[in-house]
Amino acid sequence: MEKDNVCINCSNQIDKVAKILKLGEAELDILTIPKRILTFSFPVKLDSGEIRYFTGYRVQFNDARGPTKGGIRFHPEVNLEEIKTLAFLMTLKCAVVNLPYGGAKGGVMIEPKRFSANELERISRGYIREINNFIGPDVDIPAPDVNTDSKIMAWMLDEYEKLKGRHIPAAITGKPIALSGSKGREYSTSMGGAYVLNEMADSFGMNPKKTSVAVQGFGNVGMNIARILHEWGYKVIAVSDSHGGIFNQKGFGIKDVIGHKNKTGRLSKFKGAKEISNEELLELKADVLVPAALEDQITKKNAGKIKAKLILEMANRPITPEADEILLKKNIKVIPDILANAGGVVVSYFEWVQNSQNYYWSESLVLERLKIYMAHAVKELSRTCTDFKCDMRESLYVDAIKKVLEAERLRGNLR
């Protein structure tokens, strides 16, 4: 197998699990070599009339448990190795929360802020034209990710349906409700993380009303989990966006912060707040730290300065493997991303089910069923931690990898 096809980051992340489960070469190949990698360029006419080519990716990592599932991101730092790693994590995430899915991920190397709405629409449609023969409700179901949203999913679905000549709402999730989206989907990732934190609060000796929280990232996920935790009685003492953060030891009224951000476009100059950097927020003395921005925010350079008792990974892969080791030695507990932020894919699954049945649920029913899925995953995590005597990340990896390999074995792809 060509080395370029191997997910190097995946190999690094499963080293410990490989020893625990005594994995053989064929099993490691399944866990480090994606099933399908699409790399392509496509032309888009800009508003100026200029033709520009964009680089796109779609990686379908493993489909033993069902059609692959994963978001599409628009970001200037998108690259193939990152997409492979995130597709691998999606494979594990779907297994952790017991969804009948494999994992995928996609992206376009682009700074979306530099393009008009019309240009973004043409880029979105161009991307779907390139991958349309490799996706579908029973093959691979895209969804929103970093810098993409329900509007972009609507454009992508429309382009896909035009290419196929019929309505296929289950082909893409994270759509607007008017185009067969699911109620609750917009904040489902955050709600899932909040359910997980609440389920585990007792085991960490945390009383929500006496628990301080710092949230890095104030996009959809960070903003909504700050709002939800504040409504549940947690004291949110700091939040930040790409421009910087604000801090108040007494806590914030998050609805007021959201109003200020919507009005001014920034968190800075919020009344009664001290302005801090993203780096300073990560190092605050808080009971719970919630990284909800991008990857690799806590590294070996700053892990030793982290003072939180517990980290809830709402971003994908916000802690590097080297930093993980440092946090473990400092006895800082980490609730890993493949559980903490799995609420989004759970409700994406609900959307897919509703689309397939053409029968739609109330918001309260969506949230009730989301809570059941997240609570069940937490119980499985607790059992695996006890059985294998390892930390939460290792336990989740063990649990997910066992499920994926069992599916492969039942299909006859492993002995």
pLDDT at 201: 86
Pairing type for strands 244-247 and 235-241 reads antiparallel
CA neighbor of 20 nearest in space, from 405, 409, 412: 405
Structure token digits, residue 205 = 């000796």
Least-confidence region, from 54-68, 168-182, 267-281 = 267-281
Distance, in Å, from the CA atom of 53 to the CA atom of 40, rounded to the nearest integer, reads 10
Distance, in Å, from the CA atom of 42 to the CA atom of 51, rounded to the nearest integer, reads 10
Distance, in Å, from the CA atom of 372 to the CA atom of 24, rounded to the nearest integer, reads 35
Query: Residue 214 has what DSSP assignment?
Result: E
For helices 25-32 and 392-410, what crossing angle results, to 10°?
110
Q: What is the mean pLDDT of residues 369-391?
A: 91
CA angle at residue 401 from 197 to 370, to 5 degrees?
35
Task: Calculate the average pLDDT of the chain.
Answer: 94
- Candidate CATH numbers 3.40.50.10860, 3.20.20.60, 2.60.120.200, 3.40.50.1360; the one for domain 37-170: 3.40.50.10860
Residue ranges covered by each domain of the chain: 37-170, 188-335
Least-confidence region, from 147-151, 202-206, 297-301, 315-319 = 202-206
Indicate the residue type of 43: P
In our burial notation (b when 16+ CB lie closer than 10 A, e otherwise), range 70-104 reads bbbbbbeebebebbbbbbbbbbbbbbbbbbebbbb
Residue 401 has pLDDT above 70, yes or no: yes
Cβ–Cβ contacts within 10 Å for residue 211, how many? 22
State the pLDDT confidence band at 4, using cuts at 50, 70 and 90: low
Q: What is the mean pLDDT of residues 99-124?
A: 97
Taking CA atoms, 157 is separated from 66, 124, 126, 134, 258, in Å, by 21, 10, 12, 14, 30
Q: What is the mean pLDDT of residues 257-263?
A: 94
Distance, in Å, from the CA atom of 286 to the CA atom of 15, rounded to the nearest integer, reads 31
Residue 203 has pLDDT above 90, yes or no: no
**Which among 69, 105, 235, 403 is annotated as catalytic?**
105
Same fold, 37-170 and 188-335: yes
Least-confidence region, from 12-16, 187-191, 215-219, 311-315 = 12-16
Domain 188-335 belongs in CATH node 2.60.120.260:
no
Distance, in Å, from the CA atom of 153 to the CA atom of 76, rounded to the nearest integer, reads 19
CA neighbor of 367 nearest in space, from 134, 198, 118: 198
Structure token digits, residue 272 = 């009664």
User: Which comes out higher in pLDDT, residue 2 or 40?
Assistant: 40
pLDDT at 1: 44
Residue 309 has pLDDT above 50, yes or no: yes
105 is catalytic: yes
Type and span of the H or E element at 197 = helix 188-201
For helices 220-231 and 188-201, what crossing angle results, to 10°?
40
Residue 8 has pLDDT above 90, yes or no: no
